[in-house]
Amino acid sequence: MIKSFADKDSEKIWNRNFSKKFPANLQGLIYRKLLLIDAAKDVKDLKSPPGYKLHLLTGDRKNQYAISVNNQWKICFYFQNGDAYSVEVVDYH
């Protein structure tokens, strides 16, 4: 279950509000991926389908996971005890 967001714009999408930060054509897809993160009981639940490209991050985002929205946008989060924290949609390029 999603317990917290790292920024207000990511939380806006979760609450089904429009955000100027993200492309309009991706906001529905971002919402659907947030639903999957919310439903996950274990981070391994997000390994399928492979297109999500679930991976553990390093560097400044050490211990965070990310799944792909597309080639440019990712959703980053911490996953602990069945819950997601500091969920954030990030532009990687």
Check 16, 41, 62, 93 and give the catalytic one: 93
Residue with tokens 């050490």: 62
Domains of the chain, each with CATH number or no CATH: 8-91 (3.30.2310.20)
Q: Are 22 and 89 in contact (CB under 8 A)?
A: yes
Q: Is 93 a catalytic residue?
A: yes
| 93 residues of the chain, pLDDT tens digit each | 999 999 999 999 999 999 999 999 999 999 999 999 999 999 999 998 888 899 999 999 999 999 999 999 999 999 999 999 999 999 987
Q: If you search the block for the tokens 């981070």, which residue do you land on?
A: 43
In the chain, the amino acid numbered 89 is V
* pLDDT given for residue 93 in this prediction: 72
